[in-house]
Structure 1
């Protein structure tokens, strides 16, 4: 299966500071800061994985471990050599990084020329 990634205006090669900038610009919504959502970046040989961390519900012990990524959520990957962003299921980040490296090695990574427009996506119809 081919992996599609989308271009960013990144300084390459991407280091942690640049990966944080990409995550803030391309992977965070306008109201994420207000809602207390942060990005957890993990560095691997060829990429950074990005997982959104949601604040605990009110009344939760502030010292408790953060909840795991939501089922049905996603892990994003930022390519170190190009800064391109791809989206993955909510698998453990080390597994995502391993599969990403395999896609890179086997030529299955396709960096698209542009990000998709909303009207280019086949959204399921409401029933």
Structure 2
């Protein structure tokens, strides 16, 4: 039995998504051409189609040296006291060294099996 797909913001109208106002008519900046879905939800063949974005942020807690960006901190703190007392990363912290911060990344990096075929891995050559 498959798990129900979490909306991950895909149910929010594009006009109400906070980052979209900065992207103008270039919403495809949030779409990875190699997007093959979400390994955690086999029924999702495209993260873009399901969630409105091909990338994933760290949320609820810090992980793999990455400070979380958002999520329901209060929920996580209640279920795992002390895990996230400082809350999500602040823009003032990002401003100190923005090129060293991971804000969004391909879906497989965060809590997903990187060996699963459902991944969005950017191809770089140069």
> What interval of TM-score do these two structures reach, taking the shorter chain for normalisation?
under 0.3
Larger RCO (alpha carbons 8 Å, 6+ apart): 1
TM-score by length of 2: 0.24
Compare the two structures and name the one with the higher strand fraction.
Answer: 1
